[in-house]
Amino acid sequence: MILSISLILISLMTMSASTPYKENKKIQSVITVLNNYNKMKGIPHELIEKYQGIVIIPKMINAGFALGGKRGKGIAMVKLENGKWSDPVFVTLTGGSAGLQLGVQSVDLVLVFKNKGVLTKVENGDFTIGGDISATAGPVGRSATASTDHKFEAAIYSYSRSRGLFGGISINGTNLSINKAEDADFYGPNISSQKIFEMAKSPDESVRLLKETLNSL
């Protein structure tokens, strides 16, 4: 009896140690960001339907004193050939800006990409927004296309939300890179971001809920 209990405790401890808690928590934060945008009807539904990739960075720090800086971690996803969303790849966004600035701001950032190849090629190096492809502030509202006849031609549309309001922070000059350590923690070692972008088979409940929330935008 004592031996059985000991084996159960060891098993539970092993499961707890191997559970990607940090990554699951990040996915939950991403889901919260998407739900907030959905409630505010911030991102046009047609944009999500037509575009092929998305990056969500919860609580990105946008700070400035003499020089400004941005840093945040989140996830990236692309659409597969069947129109479904891939499993999430963990990414990091960093950057700086010159000019007189003061203060610290936490921003929920969403980037919507016209072509998924921009994201799938990040594996072999970093991608600079503005240096490689510029980001444009996206039209706000579910009816944005009807009111502005928007054709959705920009390579990247950016959306930022701080304290319940939409803003227009500049992200040109920021660097997007794959967080290989978090990918390995969540999916296991020796898996590339390109492979993750090609699959949609994660059994994780948080990933299922993430895709469901994304489809509801």
How many helices and strands in the chain, by DSSP H and E?
Answer: 8, 9
Confidence of residue 107 (pLDDT cuts 50, 70, 90): confident
**Alpha-carbon distance values, 13 to 21, 83, 186, 202 (Å):** 14, 39, 18, 23
pLDDT confidence of residue 42: 80
Decide the pairing of beta strands 89-97 and 68-78: antiparallel
- Is residue 10 pLDDT above 50, yes or no? no
pTM of the model: 0.82
Confidence of residue 96 (pLDDT cuts 50, 70, 90): low
Decide the pairing of beta strands 89-97 and 135-137: unpaired
- Nearest CA-CA partner of 193 in 111, 83, 75, 108: 75
- Is residue 138 pLDDT above 90, yes or no? no
pLDDT confidence of residue 12: 37
**Please, are residues 42 and 140 in contact by the beta-carbon 8 Å criterion?**
yes
Higher local confidence (pLDDT), 97 or 22: 22
Q: Which amino acid, one-letter code, is at 27?
A: I
Which of the residue ranges 28-37, 159-168, 208-217 would you say has the lowest mean pLDDT?
Answer: 159-168
Phi, psi of 11 (to 5 degrees): -65, -45
The structure tokens 């072999």 sit at: 124
**Please, are residues 55 and 34 in contact by the beta-carbon 8 Å criterion?**
no
Q: By three-state DSSP, how is residue 101 classified?
A: coil
pLDDT confidence of residue 30: 97
Mean pLDDT of 142-167: 67
pLDDT confidence of residue 45: 87
- Is residue 76 pLDDT above 70, yes or no? yes
pLDDT confidence of residue 193: 94
Higher local confidence (pLDDT), 78 or 6: 78
Domain boundaries, given as residue ranges, for the chain: 20-215
Q: Which amino acid, one-letter code, is at 214?
A: L
Strand partners, 162: 165
Kindly report, residue by residue over 171-200, the tens digit of the pLDDT: 778 899 999 999 999 999 989 999 999 999
CB atoms within 10 A of CB 175: 19
- Is residue 14 pLDDT above 80, yes or no? no
pLDDT confidence of residue 171: 79
Confidence of residue 71 (pLDDT cuts 50, 70, 90): confident
Handedness of CA 106, 24, 194, 139 (dihedral sign): negative
